[in-house]
A and B are shown apart, each in its own frame.
Chain A
């Protein structure tokens, strides 16, 4: 009888220990995932802050985020101290898009997106070079790729008048598509028809 009790206690102990270990691992994994996202966000915000000139007055920046239910872009206003140069302003707008909507809209770009470089030519062509690795988390599809591209193009054109068209590069190279669907080889001009008109 005593032996049975001992065996049962041992089994119970083993089950409880295994369960505890499993829950511990689960919590650890979740914490690691959420800390990775917050670390990326923190880095994005830090870069945003670094670009904001001290003492400058904050301006209202118009950002456009995808709205899947109606296949449109919805605007969101954010107050940012805009930098002095156009290329830094382009970076600021992009970082604000990467940071994501404050009103629960769909993301334009994954939080892991890294900007490798930004160039603006005299004739208003903005070249944006993303890191390919950072775009790996992009949600693929015609609709999602189209809305993401125009959320960038329309946001840049709305806030930096010198930007007339946008060309996307990945790891410094021209790529055929963003994620298998939408053609990235050409220049994109703003498409205001995608912006949702007011209620």
Chain B
């Protein structure tokens, strides 16, 4: 193909050899134009990936963010689906018309002018069309989104978070005081918080509930022998404080006081009595207000200041963390270069699955009954074995993978799959030493089918969604999971079917509700708390 094109060009050049002033001027103009184009091309080396967290009055969402040079871009259609109702799309080669409620939005690739009906608006950077996906510069959030949604939009560029509508984020100040054999950090919040603690990778994490938080500074360096740093993070939509200890083996004593507006966290050497009386669970984990993240240790759960405890017991240090709540592992198919199935209008499997996982994660965490572990962080693409290893290490109560694919002309459709049995179904071994990796799922198939029934029964109740009874299939990611495991596939990403309903927030929430409720019901049957 390329060779043929070269031949044509050569023939054209040779047949009419002419060197006059006009042709030289033309060539020069072309060279200058090419130079200008190359110079204005954004630096490829400056590419990066991050997340944009959107907070709404009663929910939140996370969008992937791609940084190109000095400008960050987010997927436009995903944002519009989250903030309103996209009723139609009309896509040309380099132009996209979006019908958003009663407004028609027109954007052009590589241009920074956009139209809202007949009103022109100028963005600081041009729109991008990358592999069929439309990306808008973050400037869109300030310039266009308020007009489009008729709501207040506050974009905190430093923390890559956006507050849409009447959202009043909490904030806090930090004060550090040395103590005998340790250090005390006091966080003063503007509004009361409810917290849960966890520990992972040698760090202590305090989750601050679901209410958005906008910190004055996102990171504090202490560099003491007891505490190296304190960092605020909400890249996954869950506001949390991450304490990095100065050394291994230290104890961590958090305590919520003054109606939940003050959080004291003391880090002390083993054997040192803390100056504060830390909160310890006054009720079983079931009563917890929110669930901690992966690899949580026996943790402090509190929605109010704990009553005085005569002999304060230290919270386990991070390195020797042990889970206390049953884990649910959620897996989003695809990621990174693996976009998975692709429907019209650039709807990609990897994005749909990540959105569904985020919704189910929020619902499960809100029950306070589970830890939720994700096999895929952001837009990474772990291998099937890495996903299985993450899941199996957590010994979860169940594993749910989400995929999106071609399900024919019917849409929206949601199907539930379990792995295929290769031998008569038997009970899982009580304490296996080694498990055959590629058939680890086999002993769990009967339980997986129970889980599938629980989820499918709830999906069938969603009005307007087509379902079937649970099916079996040789799903690769399920085969190495050493726990009850199902795959939930949404569709249809059929080339001839409009997939806009799949990106609809209402549809996704209904599916997430059904899955989370099914998981909860299944866990109840299995005797999980």
Contacts and interface: CB of A to CB of B under 8 A. Distances in A.
Interface of A: 66, 68-71, 106, 139-146, 149, 176-177, 179-183, 185-186, 188
Contacts of B136: none
B487 interface: yes
A145 B489 CA distance: 12
A182 B334 contact: no
Contacts of B475: 142, 181-183
A136 to B, nearest CB: 12
Contacts of B495: 139
Contacts of B450: none
A68 B476 contact: no
B491 A140 contact: no
Contacts of A141: 341, 403-407, 489, 491, 493
A181 B408 contact: no
A144 to B, nearest CB: 4
A139 B405 contact: yes
B410 A181 contact: no
A142 B417 contact: yes
The binding surface of chain A is classed by DSSP as: mixed
Contacts of B476: 176-177, 181-183
Contacts of B342: 140
Interface string B313-339: 000000000000000000001100010
Interface residues of B, number: 33
Contacts of A139: 341, 405-406, 493-495
Contacts of A145: 405
A106 B407 CA distance: 10
Contacts of B340: 140, 180
Nearest to A68: B408
Interface in B470-507: 471, 473-476, 479, 487, 489, 491-495
A68 B491 CA distance: 11
A175 to B, nearest CB: 11
Given A142-B415, A143-B491, A176-B476, 11 more contacts: A71-B468, A140-B406, A141-B341, A142-B417, A143-B405, A143-B473, A144-B405, A146-B471, A180-B333, A183-B474, A188-B474
Nearest to B415: A143
B384 interface: yes
A57 B404 CA distance: 45
B349 interface: yes
Contacts of A142: 403, 405, 415, 417, 473, 475, 487, 489
A94 B102 CA distance: 50
Contacts of B468: 70-71
A182 B489 CA distance: 13
B409 interface: yes
B340 to A, nearest CB: 6
Contacts of A186: 474
A182 B473 contact: yes
20 contacts: A106-B408, A139-B493, A139-B494, A140-B342, A140-B349, A140-B493, A141-B407, A141-B489, A142-B415, A142-B417, A142-B473, A143-B473, A146-B473, A176-B476, A180-B338, A180-B341, A181-B405, A182-B473, A185-B438, A186-B474
B413 to A, nearest CB: 8
A69 B410 contact: yes
A71 B491 contact: no
Interface in B289-325: none
B403 A181 contact: yes
Nearest to B477: A181
Interface in B357-402: 384
A139 B334 CA distance: 15
Contacts of B406: 139-141, 143-144
A143 B495 CA distance: 15
A168 to B, nearest CB: 11
Contacts of B403: 141-142, 181
A178 to B, nearest CB: 9
A68 B407 contact: yes
A176 B405 contact: no
Nearest to B349: A140
A181 B384 CA distance: 10
Contacts of A106: 408
Contacts of A143: 405-407, 415, 471, 473, 489, 491
A113 B334 CA distance: 24
